Amino acid sequence: MSDLAPEAAVHLPARPAKETPLKETKAQRSERLKLAKNPWDAWDEVRQFAKEGRASVLPEWTGLYFKWWGIYTQGDGLGVTGGVGGEGKATEYFMMRIGLPNGLLTSTQLRVIADLTKKYARNLADITTRQNIQLHWLTIESLPEIVDALTAVGLSPKGACGDVVRNVTGCPLAGLHQHEIIDASPLAVEIARKLTANPAFYNLPRKFKISVTGCPEWCSYPEINDVALTAIKRTIVHENGTGVEEIGYTLRVGGGLSTEPHLAIRIPAFIRQDQAYAVVHATAEIFREQQELRENRTRARIKYLFMRHGWTAESFLAALEAKLGYKLDPPPATDENLLDDIYRDHIGITPQRQSGLSAVGASVLRGRLSGDQLAALAGLAERYGDGQLRATIMQNILLVNVPDAKTAALVVELNSLGLHVDVSAFWRGAIACTGTEFCKLAIAETKGFSKWLVSEMEERLPGFDQQIKLHVTGCTNSCGQHWIADIGLEGKKIKKDGQSVDAFYFCVGGAVGKYARTARPLGYRAAADEVPAAIERMLRAYLLARVEGEDLRSYFARTDDDTLRAQLAGTVIDPVERDAPPVGAGRHAPSE
């Protein structure tokens, strides 16, 4: 562990005047700019840009500082194509993420977001895989007005991007779930309030994602977060032999996807509830101090301490206890009791722990909504519930505290908005990142493709009876989380009939929960228009070969790559290598 403070400048030895200076690396430039300015203290500069117009915006803002305010420059619709250094061309427009800790949202807040979407974002918004809402087509002139409107209702884009603590995720049914171990949302909100936009953590080596959940279904995917707390029970036996149950947390560290997926490592400790915030704070401090992670932005996440720097669960625990100044209790002997292959999206009508009330979860295909739909959802939340809504990491939306007698009527109204509660397995399991439509790093278009793919699969395999997570990501950065999908599609380009076309590389068998593992690259790729036929061939082979009770994950686990690749291709073929990430990929990936 480094003894240097994170803010300490790196002083290079003086060079003779005649010697050509060494070119600054991208990591060095980022570190220099971060040391020079805390963007959260410099919003007045953006207000001035808004007055003077897009041409006045300084390159250090478009290239870095805007991200601390949840803002990226918007691509030209071609993705990485035509750009340099692994990044495509930027337009005059911006996209912004609005942070929603634990996905918590009120109808008043949603109505403001709806108004902003219609006024500034061409009536288009996306729910993201970290329970945020993302807007596009924003002009420099609109940014101060949007931030002011959000601030007025207790929302902010601060910390939704950048080398900072990102939006803290949690179970969207926190406090409502009949079988939750504990309502962890107050802790998630406390962490967000104290760490997000905290100037002490404005300069981390890279993004820092936190998940806190008391949900037994682990619906917030703790396995792929930098730090995650999951509720667990232990029994304390007194001298007289009586036992008292205590609820605390298990700590996991080092999860993340991107170009090199890594599932979080369980740290051997029991975290008491009164220790939970301090443990997360200390973990962020440990991450901040790792100067070696600042040398290469593509390997700057905390997971690389375990992947490349020799850290173990035990050595991390030692560092954590040294930072805390006290020892943590050992982990309980009881297992975490992870649930089997289940839906973790809370879609449908779910009875709450509060008698007579239910949550109604609507599946939002690709996470895409219009401002009109957002406004309608705000109205429905007030008419049928108490104005409370929850966004999910599966890009969906829940209306909660709905009287049981009103749920059927609410479902009808949601369906009329195109937000369906009862959907096909393909619709329900579809996830898509931003893609070339707006992202400068994407190689393939994703949102429109995902919608078309779902329609194709519903027509080809009506009544398909298995859960299937069908994730589409536009490049190797895995913003669409293809590494944890049953079928993950990674965007690329190939030549077809002499033309460069969108294509996808296939990975299968990813999972979270009891059977957590990253997906296996199969060595098969197909042009976008050939993907539905390939998936149909593989799923029909599964339906013919499955044994009683065998789900898709189990089938993929027992079937070798050569067989699955032949099913996709319709014939035996040699594997093709997965493309290496483009030069610079991952440096400024807008991944959630």
Strand partners, 267: 251
Is residue 215 part of the annotated active site? The answer reads no
Residue 474 annotated in active site = yes
Query: Is 385 an active-site residue?
Result: no
- Where does residue 248 rank: exposed (0-12), middle (13-18), buried (19+ CB within 10 A)? buried
Catalytic residue among 34, 97, 158, 166: 97
Q: In a 3-state reduction of DSSP, which class is residue 548? A: coil
- H or E element in which residue 168 lies: none
Residues counted in the chain: 592
Check 474, 491, 509, 586 and give the catalytic one: 474
**Please, how many CA atoms are within 13 Å of residue 274, restricted to the half-sphere of its CB?**
1
How far apart are the C-alpha atoms of 4 and 140, rounded to whole Å?
37
Cα-trace Rg, the chain: 24
Of the candidates 162, 255, 361, 480, the residue annotated as catalytic is 480
- Please identify which of the residues 67, 130, 158, 207 carries the catalytic annotation: 207
- What kind and span of H or E run contains 321? helix 313-324
Tell me the C-alpha distance between 399 and 65, whole Å.
35
User: Cα 442 to the chain's mean position, in Å?
Assistant: 16
Of the candidates 269, 230, 253, which has an alpha carbon nearest to the alpha carbon of residue 311? 253
How far apart CA 332 and CA 225 sit, in angstroms, is 22
- Residue 455 tokens read as 């329609």
Tokens standing for 40? 């959260």
Catalytic (active site) residue 272: no
Q: Which long-range contacts (CB under 8 A, 24 or more apart) does 189-194 make?
A: 189/101, 189/102, 189/104, 190/277, 191/101, 191/165, 191/277, 191/280, 192/99, 192/101, 192/102, 192/165, 192/167, 192/168, 193/101, 194/277, 194/281
Residue 152, exposed/middle/buried by CB under 10 A (0-12, 13-18, 19+)?
exposed
In terms of DSSP bridges, do strands 133-138 and 125-127 run parallel, antiparallel, or are they unpaired? antiparallel
Answer yes or no: 513 catalytic.
Answer: no
How far is residue 357 CA from its own chain's centroid? Answer: 29
Residue 99 is a catalytic residue: no
Single out the catalytic residue among 161, 215, 433, 479: 479
Active site residues: 97, 206-207, 474, 479-480
